Amino acid sequence: MSDKKDETPKKKGGIGKWIGIGVALVALVGGGVGAGLYASSSGMLGGGEAKAEGPRLVPKEEEKRAAKKEGEEGEAQASGEAPPKGEGGDSYASNYYALEKEFTSNLLGSVHFVQIGVAVSTPYDDSVIEGLKTHEIAVRSAILMALGETDEEQVFSTEGKRQLQKRLAKAINDTLKEKEGFGGIGNVYFTNFVVQ
């Protein structure tokens, strides 16, 4: 008999090779899934919510309308009619909020004082009103400071009252910018105005 060696090459590390391939495959798939989840949650792929830079302007079509009398609203909804749209007007919805307590302040250089009720409007979403509610004490202080700088002549004229509205809007926005990083109040309205 002959001493012939088996001429087929021996497979060395066959199982080890397959284990290495399996580990590399799991690492690749795991890394891809992790990267996908990260991209999704950071808003890169649209799967997550990206952080907003500030409040969002609300288009007129999304405006919340005050409920009319039940009969009128029910008839319009039953017939499927949309409320008529006028021409002109703002292109953004107005979000209103009335501050609950009235403001009383002495007038500059006068024995008289003024007592006013204040409401505000914003074309932005509810986050501006929420910021106003959160920082109401600071806003109230800013309004009282602005009222204290108002003289008697301003509160007796329509133009003076308009200027006061603008100063109050600026005082409120400055306070909200300091506290929230964004103002957003468009107008100030008087719900009550008494000078004594």
**Domain spans of the chain?**
15-48, 95-195
Q: Are 174 and 142 in contact (CB under 8 A)?
A: yes
The single-letter code of the amino acid at 189 is: Y
Q: Which residue shows structure tokens 């500059």?
A: 108
Question: Domain 95-195's class?
Answer: alpha beta
Mean pLDDT of 158-176: 96
**pLDDT at residue 48 in the model:** 44
Per residue in 19-69, pLDDT tens? 878 788 787 777 777 777 776 666 566 544 444 567 888 887 776 666 555
**pLDDT at residue 8 in the model:** 58
Per residue in 84-119, pLDDT tens? 566 666 788 889 999 999 999 999 989 999 999 999
Under the banding of pLDDT at 50, 70 and 90, the label for residue 14 is confident
Residue with more model confidence, 61 or 4: 61
Burial 133-163 (b: 16+ CB within 10 A, else e): eebeeebbebbeebbeebeeebbeeeeeeee
Mean predicted lDDT score pLDDT of the chain: 81
Q: Are 189 and 172 in contact (CB under 8 A)?
A: no
**pLDDT at residue 91 in the model:** 80
